[in-house]
């Protein structure tokens, strides 16, 4: 399947992620997580990026971004990827010894409605689903922990959500997501399909030329077989 064209339009919500090369670990200790968060803070100020949610995991990370202008996300993510890689290698004392990330970051459009809330729940509960903590709010390396326990300065990294956080949001984080919600988000990650309602997805796919994301993976069948 050809590479899906990257969409980078302002005032759209995006699910962004990347993983370590060869399934290695990016974060081995608190200093590793702090290094990435410091880089994230610096990049947010440098490029005026709205960060809505995030979660750092041992070998990958998720961001939910809300760029203001066309092209902002590419500049922001390009700087983070390059800068964090250089700093990570320097901290590990292995400069020039290969790639940190498996490739370019992945980004997926998300509808700015309840689908955004489902996506944020999915991201902020990642550590709990991976059994790294008993409760999502106990994972220190996430927007949830920063929102609840961070200093005033730390909270400045997080932007106001485009919709009101519903009551009971924290309780929902500590419950298993609905099966269809998790499957649709994973489908978005696997194939690049925009995450949202049926009509919105169809319209978005058409507007941005993303028809290939709706095709089935694999070779086309011959003679209808």
Q: Which CATH number covers residue 177?
A: 3.30.70.1290
214 or 61, which is more confident: 61
Query: Is 217 a domain residue?
Result: no
Structurally, how many domains does the chain consist of?
Answer: 1
Distance between CA atoms of residues 203 and 208, nearest Å: 9
Contact 16, 82 (CB under 8 A): no
Task: Return the higher-pLDDT residue of 212 and 175.
Answer: 175
- pLDDT value of position 19: 95
Confidence of residue 22 (pLDDT cuts 50, 70, 90): confident
pLDDT at residue 135, rounded to an integer:
96
pLDDT at residue 37 is higher than 80: yes
CA 143 to chain CA centroid, nearest Å: 12
Residue 2 lies in a domain: no
Rg of the Cα atoms in the chain: 18
The pLDDT score that the predictor gives to residue 212 is 80
Is 83 part of a structural domain of the chain? yes
Is residue 82 one of the residues assigned to a domain?
A: yes
Per-residue model confidence (pLDDT) at position 4: 58
**Residue 4 belongs to a domain:** no
Three-state secondary-structure class, residue 57 = strand
Residue 49 has pLDDT above 90, yes or no: yes
Residue 75, pLDDT score: 97
The CA distance from 132 to 40, in Å, is: 22
Task: Decide if 216 is inside a domain.
Answer: no
Query: Is the pLDDT at 224 greater than 60, yes or no?
Result: no
Mean predicted confidence (pLDDT) in 105-124: 96
Sorting pLDDT into bands at 50, 70 and 90, what band is 215? confident
At 122-156, the pLDDT tens digits run 999 999 999 999 999 999 999 999 999 999 999 99
From residue 187, alpha-carbon distances to 14, 53, 96, 146 in Å are 15, 20, 35, 28
Give the Å distances, CA to CA, from 15 to 67, 91, 180, 194. 11, 28, 18, 9
* Residue 220 pLDDT > 60: no
Percent of the chain with pLDDT over 90: 80
**Which residues constitute the domain of residue 47?**
13-201
User: Is pLDDT above 50 for 1?
Assistant: no
| pLDDT tens digit sequence for 152-211 | 999 999 999 999 999 999 999 999 888 899 999 999 999 889 999 999 999 999 999 898
Whether 211 is in a domain gets the answer: no
Would you say residue 61 lies in a domain? yes
């Amino acid at each position: 399947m050809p590479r899906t064209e990257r969409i980078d339009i302002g005032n759209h919500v995006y699910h962004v992620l990347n993983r370590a090369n060869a399934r290695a670990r990016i974060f081995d200790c608190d200093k590793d997580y702090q290094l990435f968060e410091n880089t994230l803070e610096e990049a947010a100020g440098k490029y005026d990026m709205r960060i809505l949610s995030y979660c750092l995991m041992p070998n990958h990370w998720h961001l939910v971004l809300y760029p203001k202008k066309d092209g902002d996300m590419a500049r922001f993510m390009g700087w983070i990827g390059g800068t964090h890689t250089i700093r990570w290698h320097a901290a590990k004392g292995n400069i020039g010894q290969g790639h940190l990330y498996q490739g370019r970051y992945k980004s997926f459009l998300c509808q700015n409605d309840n689908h955004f809330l489902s996506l944020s729940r999915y991201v902020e509960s990642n550590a709990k689903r991976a059994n790294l903590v008993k409760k999502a709010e106990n994972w220190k390396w996430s927007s949830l922990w920063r929102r609840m326990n961070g200093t005033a300065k730390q909270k400045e990294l997080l932007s106001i959500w485009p919709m009101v956080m519903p009551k009971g949001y924290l309780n929902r984080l500590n419950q298993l997501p609905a099966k269809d919600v998790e499957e649709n988000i994973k489908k978005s990650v696997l194939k690049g399909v925009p995450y949202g309602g049926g009509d919105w997805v169809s319209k978005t796919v058409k507007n941005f030329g993303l028809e290939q994301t709706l095709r089935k993976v694999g070779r086309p069948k011959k003679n209808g077989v």
